[in-house]
A = this chain, B = another copy of it.
Amino acid sequence: MQLVSKAKSFGGEQRVYRHRSEATRTDMDLAVFLPREALEGFVCPTLVYLSGLTCSWQEITMQGLPQMHAAKHGMIFVAPDTSPRGEQVPDDEHYDLGQSASFYIDSTEQPWSEHFQMESYLTKELPGLLLEALPVDEDAIGITGHSMGGFGALMLALRHPELFHSVSAFAPICNPTHSVWGRKAFEAYLGEDESVWEAYDPCLLVQERGWEGDILIDQGLADEYFEDQLEPWAFEKACRKAGVELTLRLHGGYDHYYHFIASFLADHFEWHADRLAE
């Protein structure tokens, strides 16, 4: 991993890295905050944050102040990009497909499959790179995310419980086989056979595979996507059926965006810090 930039922040260091990815066959950028403890060489719990549609690693890194919370808990904070990027990477004229809209899965379909291999990137390639370069405690890695990234966090945790030891989400797309965003992306990336999609839907995954811990979801009630795209009640029902403990907090007046995430980010750090310390 090549260091692109660094800045001191809350006694630690905010870094941006670039590296060649074998999974996506592109260069990938990511942001990493290292608390003081990590700079001193101590192995640290780590929280991975997956961003939403139209975003990159930049929004959460510059907004919401994850550095403050990560420094408080002595956690490493990793914000990967939302997709492969570049002139050679296929894209779509709409914001909800293609670059910055990977949905964090491995595509099997043309023209996406050559580069859109984000599940492999996030669960096979990136952990190895992080463990090699940084004092990440491989037994204490949590994952969270927002909207498409909240879906990604739930989906990847449920599919890779050996890798992710705690999970939470902000306004996640809970039931993508049922939502417009999810169905469009799954059809493009995974093909028309809907039975294939089921292995990526958190509502179905949690019932099929369960989850050993508990799950935290925050959702704003003034969120314009609440009803049609996010459908937290479907995940609540699925967790109840599966016997998985869910804390679903519905916040009156909060929308889908930055101020909502920032307002509750401290609670998610505390949630992960508590569980990763066990």
Task: List the B residue with the shortest CB-CB distance to A62.
Answer: B63
Give the complex CA separation of A91 and B144 in angstroms: 44
Give the distance to chain B from A32, nearest Cβ to Cβ, in Å: 13
Interface size class, chain A: 20 to 34
Q: Is A263 an interface residue (CB 8 A)?
A: yes
Tell me whether B67 and A253 are in contact (CB under 8 A).
Answer: no
- Over the window 56-70 of chain A, the binary record of Cβ atoms lying under 8 Å from chain B Cβ atoms (1 yes, 0 no) is 000000111101100
Q: Is A262 an interface residue (CB 8 A)?
A: yes
Q: Is A9 an interface residue (CB 8 A)?
A: yes
Tell me whether A8 and B259 are in contact (CB under 8 A).
Answer: yes
Task: List the B residue with the shortest CB-CB distance to A59.
Answer: B62
Q: Is A100 an interface residue (CB 8 A)?
A: no
Contacts of A220 in B (CB 8 A): 8
Number of copies: 2
Contacts of A255 in B (CB 8 A): 7-8
Give the complex CA separation of A9 and B258 in angstroms: 9
Tell me whether B68 and A259 are in contact (CB under 8 A).
Answer: no
Q: Is A10 an interface residue (CB 8 A)?
A: yes
Q: Within residues 222 to 266 of chain A, which ones have a CB less than 8 A from any CB in chain B?
A: 222, 251, 253-255, 257-260, 262-263
Q: Is A14 an interface residue (CB 8 A)?
A: yes
Tell me whether B8 and A262 are in contact (CB under 8 A).
Answer: no
Task: List the B residue with the shortest CB-CB distance to A264.
Answer: B10
Give the complex CA separation of A215 and B272 in angstroms: 39
Give the complex CA separation of A263 and B7 in angstroms: 11
- Taking a contact as CB atoms closer than 8 A, the residue among B14, B62, B64, B259 that contacts A7 in the complex is B259
Give the distance to chain B from A217, nearest Cβ to Cβ, in Å: 18
Q: Within residues 3 to 40 of chain A, which ones have a CB less than 8 A from any CB in chain B?
A: 7-11, 14
Give the complex CA separation of A11 and B77 in angstroms: 26
Contacts of A263 in B (CB 8 A): 8-11, 67-68
- Over the window 88-110 of chain A, the binary record of Cβ atoms lying under 8 Å from chain B Cβ atoms (1 yes, 0 no) is 00000000000000000000000
Shortest beta-carbon contacts, A-B, top 10:
A9-B259, A8-B253, A65-B65, A7-B259, A8-B254, A10-B263, A62-B63, A14-B259, A7-B255, A9-B263
Residue ranges of A at the interface with B (Cβ–Cβ < 8 Å): 7-11, 14, 62-65, 67-68, 220, 222, 251, 253-255, 257-260, 262-263
16 A-B pairs with C-beta separation under 8 A: A7-B257, A7-B258, A7-B259, A7-B260, A8-B220, A8-B251, A8-B253, A8-B254, A8-B259, A9-B262, A10-B263, A11-B263, A62-B63, A64-B65, A65-B262, A68-B262
